[in-house]
Amino acid sequence: MSSGILPGLTIVRTKLDTRQICIDIDGVICEYNFPLLVKNFFGVDLSKHMIFAYDLADVLGVAPSLINTMFKEQVYGKPNFIAGAVETLGGWKSKGYELIIYSNRTKYMGYNGLAEWLIEWQIPFSGIDDGQNHYNVHIDDSPGKLMTTDSKIKLLFDQPWNQRCYNITNQLLRVRSWEEIRAYVQ
pLDDT of residue 107: 84
Contact 128, 24 (CB under 8 A): no
SS3 state of residue 76: coil
d(Cα 41, Cα 72) in Å, to the nearest integer? Answer: 11
pLDDT of residue 49: 86
Contact 11, 111 (CB under 8 A): yes
Contact 99, 129 (CB under 8 A): no
Domain residue ranges in the chain: 20-30+81-184, 34-74
Per-residue pLDDT tens digits of the chain, which is 186 residues long: 444 556 565 554 434 445 899 999 999 999 988 899 899 999 999 998 898 888 899 999 999 999 988 888 776 788 999 999 999 999 999 999 999 999 988 888 889 999 999 999 999 999 999 998 899 999 999 999 999 999 999 999 999 999 999 999 999 999 999 999 999 997
Q: What is the reported pTM? A: 0.85
| CATH class of the 20-30+81-184 domain in this structure | alpha beta
Q: Which residues contact 99 (CB under 8 A, 6 or more apart)?
A: 21, 23, 89, 92, 93, 124, 125, 126, 127
Per DSSP bridges, beta strands 98-101 and 127-128 are: parallel
Amino acid symbol at 90: G
Instruction: Look at residues 179, 110, 174 and name the one whose alpha carbon lies nearest to residue 139.
Output: 174
Instruction: Look at residues 169, 106, 156 and name the one whose alpha carbon lies nearest to residue 132.
Output: 106
- The pLDDT tens digits for 55-89 are 899 999 999 999 988 888 776 788 999 999 999 99
d(Cα 140, Cα 100) in Å, to the nearest integer? Answer: 12
pLDDT of residue 6: 60
SS3 state of residue 127: strand
End-to-end CA distance of the chain: 29
